């Protein structure tokens, strides 16, 4: 029991360190803007201010990485095990999608995550859910490299980059350049060798946090998640069909009841299948 409590504490501490690192990074960006504004007025920040913030940022990252190492494998196994529970825990599609996104971010320590599903009627990729380490995001708040998402959806092959701004495959992409995206990992949701969606995660601050190990882990997770999502979609479709059938039956019952003349329907064997009150 004690070992479990220590593990949970360490993982929680790593999450807090990442949030602090993100806050310090935002502060550093603000200070850079202020420094330029002051320079135009012949003024400057107090000596060492920016360097001090940069030093804190570096130390927070180093501490988080030091704590991450011993817990990574255990956390990966734990989250993958939880995915099996997720598959059987609910058939509500929105709930499944939110759980998948939350678990993916936790699994590989991403800053943000984005999930799209392929519409079975049109074949188009449709945005379903986006999250960061603190909560849900709207589609307008989550601007990603749609080029990478489209490539993974088309080929069914995962894409991983340690520093997208320096990666020749993507560094000419407008979203990659504009958002200064660093680490990106994008994997397909595969079901019976068919791409049913795409799971995208990134980090705008740190480089080299996604590699082959994370790609394999997230791909395994995505394959399990694809089953959970498909089960929920089938249940949603069956429920919708049942509701439609019930609605049609109610309409037919109302129509039959409102007809003054007797109405009888029979099958090919002349067996009566339906009649209204007047016919009775």
pLDDT tens per residue across span 2-35 = 444 444 555 567 778 778 888 888 888 888 888 8
CA distances from 141 to 55, 102, 129, 180, 230 (A): 30, 17, 11, 15, 27
pTM (predicted TM-score): 0.59
The residue count for the chain: 280
Is residue 131 within 8 Å of 137, Cβ to Cβ?
A: yes
Q: What confidence tier does 252 reach under pLDDT thresholds 50, 70, 90? A: confident
For residues 227 and 80, what is the distance between their CA atoms, to the nearest angstrom? 13
- Specify the DSSP element, H or E, that contains 223: helix 212-258
For residues 120 and 77, what is the distance between their CA atoms, to the nearest angstrom? 32
- Digit-coded pLDDT (tens) for 123-176: 899 999 888 877 777 666 666 667 888 889 999 999 988 765 555 565 555 555
Q: What's residue 165's pLDDT? A: 54
Q: Name 18's Cβ contacts closer than 8 Å, sequence gap at least 6.
A: 64, 109, 111, 133
Strand intervals (E) in the chain = 112-118, 125-132, 136-137, 159-161, 183-191, 194-203, 264-266, 272-275
- Digit-coded pLDDT (tens) for 187-204: 999 998 899 999 999 887
Burial class (CB in 10 A: 0-12, 13-18, 19+), 15: middle
50 pLDDT more than 90? no
Phi-psi region of 33 (alpha: psi -120 to 50; beta: other; left: phi over 0): alpha
């Amino acid at each position: 029991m004690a070992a479990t409590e220590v593990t949970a504490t360490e993982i929680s501490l790593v999450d807090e360190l990442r949030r602090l690192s993100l806050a310090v990074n935002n502060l550093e960006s603000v200070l850079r803007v202020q420094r330029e504004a002051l320079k135009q007025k012949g003024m400057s920040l107090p000596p060492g201010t920016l360097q001090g913030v940069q030093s804190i940022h570096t130390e927070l990252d180093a501490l988080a990485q030091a704590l991450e190492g011993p817990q990574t494998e255990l956390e990966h196994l734990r989250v993958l095990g939880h995915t099996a529970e997720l598959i059987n825990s609910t058939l509500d599609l929105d709930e499944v999608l939110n759980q998948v996104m939350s678990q993916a971010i936790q699994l590989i320590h991403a800053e943000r995550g984005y999930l799209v599903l392929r519409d079975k009627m049109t074949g188009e990729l449709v945005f379903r859910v986006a999250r960061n380490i603190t909560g849900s995001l709207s589609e307008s708040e989550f601007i990603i490299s749609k080029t990478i998402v489209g490539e993974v959806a088309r080929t069914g092959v995962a894409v991983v980059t340690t520093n997208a701004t320096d990666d020749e495959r993507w560094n000419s992409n407008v979203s990659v350049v504009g958002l200064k995206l660093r680490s990106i990992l994008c994997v397909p949701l595969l079901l019976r060798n068919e791409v049913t969606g795409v799971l995208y995660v990134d980090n705008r601050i740190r480089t080299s946090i996604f590699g082959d190990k994370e790609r394999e882990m997230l791909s395994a997770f995505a394959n399990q998640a694809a089953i959970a999502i498909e089960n929920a979609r089938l249940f949603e479709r069956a429920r919708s069909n049942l509701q439609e059938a019930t609605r049609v039956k109610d309409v037919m019952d109302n129509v039959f009841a409102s007809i003054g003349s007797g109405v009888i329907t029979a099958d090919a064997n002349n067996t009566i299948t339906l009649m209204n009150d007047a016919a009775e």
